[in-house]
Amino acid sequence: MKLHEYQAKEVFARYGIPVQRGVVISRPDEVDRLDLRYPVVVKAQVLVGGRGKAGGIKLAANPGEARRHAQAILGMSIKGERVTRLLVAEAAKIEKEYYLAFTLDRAARRMVAIASAAGGIDIEEVARATPERIAKHSVDPSLGFLPFHARELGAAIGLRGDHLTAFAALAASLYRLTVQEEAELAEINPLAVADGKLVAVDAKLILDDSAAFRHKDRPTNEEMTDLERAAREAGLSYVELDGDLAVIGNGAGLVMSTLDVVAHFGGRPANFLDVGGGATTENMTAAMEIVLRKPGVRALFINIFGGITRCDDIARAIAARPPRVPVAVRLTGTNEEEGRRILEGAAIHAFIGPEEAAQEAVRLARGARS
Ligand code: GDP
Ligand code: MN
């Protein structure tokens, strides 16, 4: 489970990691009631990265400016996620940005500490372009992350003196947090030097869901998106991604392989929905309605392997209410002849092979784009 920045910072604060004072709001007029020192930073609380670049983070020198930014950012859609809450925090006077994270190195079966003096930017990009600017320490679980490990790591990214001492204490706290909270990732980007002190300006925390039963006090975040809730109510399993091709299939395995085939042909799924075995015309109608409600969907790929699910039922749903975007259908199995006939009646061609259908779907998503 991924936490929002403000939730992650609450956890950070419990572990003594310095964060800015801040308040979460959901309406612009709440700005007036805040007891914060200006300038402040107004930050969209969405579970995607790169909020700054997307215009979801703004500095404000006074309440009027903060209100205007709040007005602009609330309701904004960042990578498909609508902003309903803002963190308003006392702005840090940033002198330098570092990067620090603990994450699971699955291959090594250990936690690894990652640090860099190139903070505030996409760490994957740093790793690609200038790998020498990244320092790592693989944590031996029988030793833990010891004070001298923390100092070595800090020294490796150029920290000296008081900053190095503060970094070592902070890194030790972040390690303790990672282990005790059973996090898969605890990331601070940027970890800033501001007014001569280190402060976690951003916070990202992904908690291990398999350990949830040991942590009854975890935030019950994971608010579903409206679409995810609608899907659950309709008894459909639905997952949001950030591409432009909506995907419907029947059966978890088929849906997974559908995503692979789409990716193979260079497509980017916007979401995917499993209508399950024995899907009816009604299920299929609800499924199309849900996947197409996601903004940014440019084509729809329906991949049905009829078993208990009857191809004619599926086809009836598609033909009755043709989607608002171009659609590629792969239909095979039980009653496929009739299904095909129904679709032909609606001028929709149904493919037999998943590859050709996927290729067509990817082409449609691209074509609709230009
Ligand atoms: P992200 O874009 O989603 O990673 O959000 P961040 O919280 O990392 O903010 C992005 C960038 O905005 C940071 O790297 C900073 O450059 C800037 N920023 C965020 N908070 C502050 C702040 O309190 N003061 C200043 N001066 N800049 C900030
Ligand atoms: Mn960040």
* CATH code, 77: 3.30.1490.20
Helix axes 5-14, 161-180, angle to 10 degrees: 100
Give 24's pLDDT tier (boundaries 50, 70, 90).
very high
Centre of ligand 1 to C-alpha 186, Å, is 17
238-295 pLDDT, tens digit each: 998 889 999 999 999 999 999 999 999 999 999 999 998 888 999 999 999 999 999 8
Ligand closest in space to the Cα of 9: 1
- Count of H helices and E strands in the chain? 11, 18
What pLDDT is stored for residue 315 in this prediction? 97
How far are the Cα atoms of 31, 44, 118 from residue 50, in angstroms, in the given order?
A: 24, 11, 16
Other beta carbons within 10 Å of 362: 23
Amino acid code (one letter) for 68 = R
Q: Are 154 and 168 in contact (CB under 8 A)?
A: yes
Instruction: State pLDDT tens for residues 52-85.
Output: 999 999 999 999 999 999 999 999 999 878 899 9
Q: Which of 99, 228, 336, 360 is catalytic?
A: 99
Query: For 74-123, how does the pLDDT look when each residue is reduced to its tens digit (9 = 90+)?
Result: 999 998 788 999 999 999 999 999 999 999 999 999 999 999 999 998 99
Q: By three-state DSSP, how is residue 194 classified?
A: strand
Judged against a pLDDT cut of 60, whether residue 369 lies above it is answered with no
201 Cα to the center of ligand 2, angstroms? 8
Q: How confident is the model at residue 370 (pLDDT cuts 50, 70, 90)?
A: very low
Sheet containing strand 299-306, strands side by side: 237-240, 269-274, 245-249, 299-306, 327-333, 350-351
CA 301, 307, 313: angle at the middle one, nearest 5? 60
Closest ligand to residue 59's CA? 1
Tokens of 122: 């996409």
Query: Pairing mode, if any, of strands 269-274 and 237-240?
Result: antiparallel
Minimum-distance ligand to the CA of 56? Answer: 1
DSSP structure class, residue 3 = P
Q: Are residues 170 and 233 in the same domain?
A: no
Please give the Cα distance from 354 to 39 (Å, whole number): 55
Residues 271 and 255 in one domain: yes
Q: pLDDT digits over 213-224, tens only?
A: 999 888 866 566
Quick one: 205 and 232 in the same domain?
no
Residue identifier of the C-alpha nearest atom 10 of ligand 1:
52
Q: Are residues 231 and 322 in the same domain?
A: yes
Q: Do 237 and 330 fall within a single domain?
A: yes
Question: Which residue's C-alpha comes closest to atom 12 of ligand 1?
Answer: 52
Q: pTM of the full predicted structure? A: 0.70
Is there a domain that residue 3 lies in?
Answer: no
Whether residues 204 and 266 share a domain: the answer is: no
Domain of residue 177, CATH code: 3.30.470.20
Q: Which residues pair with 185 in a beta bridge?
A: 103, 206
Tokens representing residue 278 in the block: 């024995």
Find the CATH number of the domain harbouring 349. Answer: 3.40.50.261
Determine, yes or no, domain membership for 204: yes
Our answer to whether residue 99 is catalytic in this structure is yes
One of 5, 97, 187, 336 is an active-site residue; which one?
187
What is the CB < 6 Å shell around ligand 1? 41, 49-52, 57, 59, 91-92, 94, 97, 120, 189-190, 201-202
The token pair at 99 is 């990067």
Task: Give alpha helix (H) positions in 242-353.
Answer: 252-264, 281-293, 311-320, 336-345
pLDDT higher than 70, residue 368: no
Same domain, 251 and 192: no
- If asked whether residues 111 and 62 sit together in one domain, one would say no
How many separate domains does the chain show? 3
249 assigned to some structural domain: yes
What mean pLDDT is predicted for residues 42-48? Answer: 94
Q: What distance in Å separates the CA atoms of residue 131 and residue 172, rounded to the nearest whole number?
A: 24
Mean pLDDT in residue range 21-36 = 96
| pLDDT at residue 40 tops 50 | yes
Domain of 303 in residue numbering reads as 226-369
According to DSSP, residue 353 is labeled S
**Digit-coded pLDDT (tens) for 171-213:** 999 999 999 999 999 999 999 999 999 999 999 999 998 898 9
Structure tokens at 299: 């084509």
Tokens found for residue 321: 């209410």
Q: Is 187 a catalytic residue?
A: yes
Give the residue ranges of DSSP H helices in 192-310.
Answer: 226-233, 252-264, 281-293
Candidates 41, 79, 87: which one to mutate for ligand 1, based on the most atoms within 8 Å of Cβ? Answer: 41
- Specify whether 47 is located in the same domain as 78: yes
Ligand 1 atom closest to the Cα of residue 202 is 7
- Mean pLDDT of the chain, nearest integer: 94
Give yes or no: residues 197 and 157 share one domain: yes
Looking at the structure, do residues 233 and 170 belong to the same domain, yes or no?
Answer: no
